Amino acid sequence: VKQMVLPDYTLGRTYAILNHLRAAVRETETAASEAYRTGTKCTKPDIIEELNRLSSALHIMMCMYLAGQYS
């Protein structure tokens, strides 16, 4: 599997859906970072961390899909 493959329609519908989900989670993470910021302090770091982990999990799923790990 190539490292950090740019999303492309030729990678298939499943890959596109996973990428869409990951992008939505990243947008949510960004919005949460802004919403839970008071000055330079984050009031809900646990939420930000879990959203980041979810994004990472989706990225791993995308890599596994490209490697043929899902049937």
pLDDT in tens, 2-61: 567 788 889 999 999 999 999 999 999 999 999 999 999 999 999 999 999 999 999 999
Domain that holds residue 60: 9-66
Dihedral angle, C-alpha 24, 51, 29, 55, nearest 10 °: -50
Distance, in Å, from the CA atom of 70 to the CA atom of 7, rounded to the nearest integer, reads 18
Strand partners, 38: 41
Predicted pLDDT of residue 1: 53
Is-contact 32 47, C-beta < 8 A? Answer: yes
Residue 4 is assigned to a structural domain of this protein? no
Number of independent structural domains in the chain: 1
Residue 40 is assigned to a structural domain of this protein? yes
Residue 2 is assigned to a structural domain of this protein? no
Residue 34 is assigned to a structural domain of this protein? yes
Residue 3 is assigned to a structural domain of this protein? no
Alpha-carbon radius of gyration of the chain: 15
Is-contact 61 18, C-beta < 8 A? Answer: yes
pTM of the entire structure? Answer: 0.86
Residue 15 is assigned to a structural domain of this protein? yes
